[in-house]
Amino acid sequence: MGLRRMDVAKRPKSLTARQALASVGQCQLIGLWNTLFGHLHQPIAQILLTRNDIADRTQYLNAQNTFTELFGMGVIPIVNENDTIAVSQELNVRQEIRAIEKFGDNDTLSAITAAMVQADYLFLMTDVDCLYDKNPRTHTDALPIEVVEDISALEADVSSAGSTLGTGGMSTKIVAARLAGSAGVTTVISRSSNPNNILAIVSYVQAQRTATELPSQRTAPEPPSQRTAAEPPSQKTATEPPLSSLPSTPAAEESDLSKSTSSLQLSGILRAPPLHTRFLPDPLPIRDRSFWLLHGIAPHGTIYIDHGAHRALAAKAGLLPVGVVDVEGQFAQQEAVRLVVTQRPGHVRERNPRDVNGSGVSSEIETAPKEIGRALVNYSSAEILRIKGCQSTEIQSILEYADSEYVALRENISLLKTQKSRPATPGLV
């Protein structure tokens, strides 16, 4: 919008020029939003965020409190990245610029915001109806993907050669769905050309939940004697019926949510909503500080730990120097790092039948390094290199000081959840 307002034909290469035009565009954009919501007499607010605002715990909490206060006042916040200062200088180290650019897509920003405010839904609007198992523009047999339970399988499909899910930009939406889902947010991908789809989809999900909670309102299954040989019993549950098994009549588009929900239930049968892809949220979401540690801070390096340290972390212990195998990158005290479990050089890990999968620790022999979480460290990378593999009682003699017996306190460690093994199945239409 800044380019159009200033009659600039091409996006400039200069960073300062791009930032200046972004500041012009911000005024144009918020003015447009204010005009549109003004027709509904709905007050709005503007919140501009950067990666630094999310990475700093105090600023993160301040932003969270601002959202809460605005909602209490009946104000709708319009969130955008502060492009005027998002990339501070071209002279910054390459790693820092890369970390900031990753926050530059609105999908990731929206997912972090949704988690911050503990939203029920995150809608990612695009130019296609939903995700497909193949590119629908080049494959006439492409099937829509209606409900995604195992996002790791879907990500594998995206990254595999010759496979695509519709159009460009879907990869960032899937990353956003993973972030939001881990915080308990239901994420929906739908076509942006009809905003009323949002109401119809939410109404459909609410009607599903009502039908699940009140089984007496659901239509009883047809007796076997009345079925033909070509009509096998349905294998789907009432909680997530496939869209293709429902009547094809479009959902009613009404402004009132309760009326729309009622219209979607006819004698206990749910009417099909607009085509969309819905990512189910994690039933045991991570919130607040754990989410912030995992997804709010850009890691500055990597600490490799052994399997014994991994088991200790899964048992809610802190990270001791004896469990550290190696360090990668340069970082200071209280900066974020990746935690990667690996084998010690020359060590072959034996299979232990007592290892428990549910704890997040694999019961199989593992050779490839695997990221298992994030942490804020008590020592710099140079210090950890000196004390790795040592007992905590040796820190004082090695460094001539000992700020802590732990490389990272348990309260400053957040572990990634193990992925489910249920595939994302295309709908049969």
Is the pTM higher than 0.75? The answer reads: no
Pairing of strands 302-305, 370-376: unpaired
**pLDDT score for 367:** 66
The H-or-E segment that residue 128 falls in is none
Question: 1-104 belongs to which homologous superfamily?
Answer: Acetylglutamate kinase-like (3.40.1160.10)
Position 54: which residue type?
I
Evaluate whether 121 touches 183 at the Cβ level (below 8 Å).
no
Whole-angstrom Cα distance, residue 81 to residue 92? 19
Residue-range domain boundaries for the chain: 1-104, 299-349+359-415
Q: Quick check: helix, strand or coil at residue 302?
A: strand
Q: At 198, is the secondary structure helix, strand, or coil?
A: helix
3-state secondary structure of 348: coil
Q: If you write DSSP's letter for every residue of 134-161 in order, what string do you get?
A: S-TTT-TT--EE-EES-HHHHHHHHHST
Q: How is residue 296 annotated by DSSP? A: I
CA-CA distance, 409 to 378, in Å (whole number)? 8
Mean pLDDT by 10 residues, the chain (429 residues): 76 79 85 94 94 89 96 96 64 42 72 95 91 82 89 59 49 91 95 91 88 52 42 39 39 45 51 90 90 92 96 96 96 96 71 49 64 96 97 96 96 81 36
Least Cα distance to 311 among 269, 392, 372 occurs for 372
Cβ-based neighbour number of residue 59 at 10 Å: 14
Q: How far apart are CA 109 and CA 237, in angstroms?
A: 34
Token readout for 21 is: 């035009």
3-state secondary structure of 124: strand
Cα dihedral 406→357→422→212 (10° resolution): -90
3-class DSSP state of 226: helix
Strands, sheet with 413-415, edge to edge from the N-terminal-most edge strand: 324-328, 302-305, 336-341, 370-376, 413-415
Rg of the chain over Cα atoms, rounded to whole angstroms, equals 25
The CATH fold of domain 299-349+359-415 = 2.30.130
**Residues in the chain, total:** 429
Q: For residue 352, is it left (φ>0), alpha (ψ between -120 and 50) or beta? A: beta
